[in-house]
Amino acid sequence: MNQWIIVAGLGNPGLKYSRTYHNCGFMVLEILSQRHNFSLRKIKFKALTAEINFFGKKVLFMQPSTYMNRSGESIREAVDFYKIPLANLLVIYDDIDIEIGKIRIRPWGSAGSHNGMRSIIQHLDSDQFPRIRVGIGPQPENIDIIQHVMSNVPTDQQKILFDALHKAADAVELILKDDLDLAMNRLNGI
């Protein structure tokens, strides 16, 4: 049976947030939609979604529109609807604990300081699902974490972050084409 895979990019809806650090997950899905000519337009599971055949697999791409801190509501609805194992859920998000420009791919893990991931783990009652973390750190000393993640990416960091977003999109493609281990071996920490 060809089972669905869910690829969820985290962020906050609306133009006000579109180019903030916290919207890395949304931006990675935008890159993928441009590369593979699909649109995240259908509203389903409290998210903008696209259901496509991607490298021979049935994939739901989703950008939860619940705002970051309630991402778990949206993702839980999709996971329940498709009745997928959590190994078939891939979440992409920003991480203040990773240097800007770097990505980390993991098969599972804690939420760390990320409220969107905390919401997902709480709603799924598990942290046993793969994720791609896009580095946005370190946190500047003179600004609190919320202010930092909700600020627009400054001009001098845009290219570094843009390159990392493209690496994260490459990782999604590699995971869907081949597997998680190959993506981790090739792309972790670069």
Which one of 22, 114, 123, 148 is the catalytic residue? Answer: 22
Active site residue 148: no
In this structure, the number of other CB atoms found within 10 A of the CB of residue 143 comes to: 11
Which parts of the chain fold into alpha helices (H)? 24-36, 71-82, 115-124, 145-149, 155-177, 180-187
C-alpha 167/C-alpha 96 separation (Å) is 17
> Taking the CB of residue 45, how many other CB atoms lie within 10 A of it?
24
Residues catalogued as catalytic: 22
